[in-house]
Structure 1
């Protein structure tokens, strides 16, 4: 029996916006829940008497789960698509949220965030494939729409914490289970559409296997090097975002004497800037060179990130907005570039960049938590200011025009 997979020949040139918008909203829900966890750190630290090392371990658990599981799920679904994993993943998320709402011990918190991380690990590879399938010929714009939901979720999380969870505490999380239930049924709608796209793949399976080819001009070594560099870029971005999300609230509370609610609003400024930058990058992704946009992201972010730890409150808010905007502008571009390097491997690419690189950022965040206990929060924020400079490795990436041309040749050969 033929394996059900998505073939390039079955992908219509028309962009399916209802599916893109639905999956984007599901991305918003998933990432809101995932980023509520670091937003809750000040509350958890106070209510459970945690130290920074334990906070780092909580961050490590949720991110390490994603780092391990997302690439494995991505590889599996590249070979055998599983549309019903989309609503199934929501069940893990719901169980994790309810468990976290009533967790009164450190190990229970760890178990809860592991479940949330597992739900996220199931969500991303298949959702990225749906986004790719519904994109038509607007890959950059579709990637931006999909990522928009995720970045909006990241931005909403600290606001929810400031206006809701600061008042209700952990148990306020239980109300999110109602929203997750709605998301469960929305994922069934997406899964049914996704399932319908698999029908032509069974009929074309044998033919496609015979006609698949690999890029000829770029060697395997060059492709591996390029993917590794892109992983480092995404890792540095994720570690910077994780560091700001997890520890900048403590920094502004100690440095400027703001309240916890005010600190969450400042964090919202940074995460909202990520949304603005993502939209900007998505608009430009299909019009300009990938490498130029990546260079813009690096060279534009660095000066604001470097000034941030040493500025007063007013300028800190300005710098954090500009850094967040420019930093995130290349994310959808990197995803499209990676998919062009590995055509037909949407699940693997999603697993690597949503899971492994994101998870490694969580590992780095845990290390920073241990460092914060032995040094200071000021020292951590100062060290993280140099992370965008890792983007200088972009100089070793191959020409994106060559990569795009070869990806198109592979797609034609497969069809």
Structure 2
């Protein structure tokens, strides 16, 4: 968090206290937000049957959902670094509420697009300020605080297959409207958070001298920072395209390949996403011990051989391999965010918005790109090719080490 924009009020002793109540509430809100967002790709098998949509149209729906977050998150992150916006949190979830309500009753493809744009906008507003709340409530335990916050979101995403199996399959499209209840609960909780948040900040103008002193002035270092940031974004691209392929299209592949029902196919995605949530929670502590660069490198290349062979094994083995690859691949999720924040100190919201927003954007492009590819060359070959994307993780070798990164600013 840029301390020139917001300073936590209160006695010094209180500043050092981790506010677990706020952390658990914001983590729960992250779960609710991301579970609502996950309803949209979870509905793909239902929409494909009820509306006769093509893979390209399904990709356009996912693109519409994620591209808003991709564009808006960095912008909101930069704005929040200058002037935090506590009540943007409940306002954002109100957009989501109307979006999910519209999705449940959308009569056509065009109305679905409008609805998911509203959900995407709400998510874009929530994430940067939600991350800032976790920072403010962290006290001395910032790693733990971010883990609680991030695992809430990934757990929400992991609920998508269960949502499909238990709600959307029996109730159909209208079942999505039930999630307005979750959105309303989140709005109420975030209103409480916003009041807590607004009481603990004061507004100031301009960047502090301390933050200015951390901006690199050496041209060689500046160039290296830019190259490293581009590498991080490219690694996020590879990870996002792979996860987009699995979450949006693997259910169709499993149905065709293993003769599964929609409900059964969702259990494969559930295994992948739950393991991914565990990986996200584990990545931070492992990075503290073994180094951020090492975990990013291991996360990508460690998952690569598993993801490559998954399409060629029987159903039981595929279920296990999906869980393993999800855990390993998502070890880097929060680590890439922290790495980017350390590349450019003092821009907590901007770097969080850029990296997470870029992940949404690449997921959006992956959805439409892989959907079009599936229509052209067939879904089985598309899934096979997608499995080779994590091999691009070899580029993590060219990232500066954690020690070198620290030396740039000391």
Coarse TM-score class (shorter-chain normalised): over 0.9
1:195 maps to 2:198 = yes
Relative to structure 1, is the Cα distance of residues 342 and 132 closer, same or farther in structure 2, using a 3 angstrom cutoff? farther
Match of 2:269 in 1: 267
Match of 1:111 in 2: 114
Give unmatched runs, 5+ long, in structure 2. none
1:168 maps to 2:171 = yes
Q: Which runs of 4+ in 1 moved over 3 A?
A: 7-14, 215-218, 404-407
Kept in 2, the 8 Å contact 1:235–1:358? The answer is: no
Secondary structure in structure 2 of the residue aligned to 1:104: coil
Kept in 2, the 8 Å contact 1:48–1:104? The answer is: no
1:37 maps to 2:2 = no
TM-score, normalised to structure 2, is: 0.93
CA distances 1:71-95 after superposition (whole Å, capped 9, x unpaired): 1111222112111100000110000
Match of 1:68 in 2: 71
Relative to structure 1, is the Cα distance of residues 210 and 327 closer, same or farther in structure 2, using a 3 angstrom cutoff? closer
Match of 1:329 in 2: 331
Match of 2:6 in 1: 6
1:132 maps to 2:135 = yes
Secondary structure in structure 1 of the residue aligned to 2:208: helix
Secondary structure in structure 2 of the residue aligned to 1:352: helix
- Give the one of 225, 228, 232 matched to 1:226: 228
Kept in 2, the 8 Å contact 1:240–1:387? The answer is: yes
- Give the one of 375, 397, 402 matched to 1:373: 375
Match of 2:259 in 1: 257
In structure 1, C-alpha distance between the alignment counterparts of 2:206 and 2:284, rounded to whole Å: 36
Kept in 2, the 8 Å contact 1:7–1:208? The answer is: no
Q: CA deviation at 1:243?
A: 0.8
Kept in 2, the 8 Å contact 1:232–1:357? The answer is: no
Q: CA deviation at 1:138?
A: 2.8
Match of 1:215 in 2: 216
Kept in 2, the 8 Å contact 1:4–1:80? The answer is: no
Match of 1:236 in 2: 238
Secondary structure in structure 2 of the residue aligned to 1:398: coil
In structure 2, C-alpha distance between the alignment counterparts of 1:83 and 1:344, rounded to whole Å: 20
CA distances 1:201-250 after superposition (whole Å, capped 9, x unpaired): 53xx5682576211356722211111111111222212211110110000
Q: Which segment is superposed worse, 364-373 or 92-101?
A: 364-373
Match of 1:296 in 2: 298
Relative to structure 1, is the Cα distance of residues 288 and 47 closer, same or farther in structure 2, using a 3 angstrom cutoff? same
Give unmatched runs, 5+ long, in structure 1. 410-415
In structure 1, C-alpha distance between the alignment counterparts of 2:343 and 2:127, rounded to whole Å: 19
1:278 maps to 2:285 = no
Kept in 2, the 8 Å contact 1:140–1:336? The answer is: no
In structure 1, C-alpha distance between the alignment counterparts of 2:348 and 2:386, rounded to whole Å: 31
Match of 2:397 in 1: 395
Kept in 1, the 8 Å contact 2:30–2:149? The answer is: yes
Kept in 1, the 8 Å contact 2:42–2:160? The answer is: yes
Secondary structure in structure 2 of the residue aligned to 1:286: helix
Q: CA deviation at 1:197?
A: 2.6
Q: Which segment is superposed worse, 12-21 or 42-51?
A: 12-21
Q: What number of residue pairs does the alignment pair up?
A: 403
Relative to structure 1, is the Cα distance of residues 404 and 86 closer, same or farther in structure 2, using a 3 angstrom cutoff? farther
Kept in 2, the 8 Å contact 1:141–1:285? The answer is: no
In structure 2, C-alpha distance between the alignment counterparts of 1:133 and 1:228, rounded to whole Å: 28
In structure 2, C-alpha distance between the alignment counterparts of 1:179 and 1:53, rounded to whole Å: 30
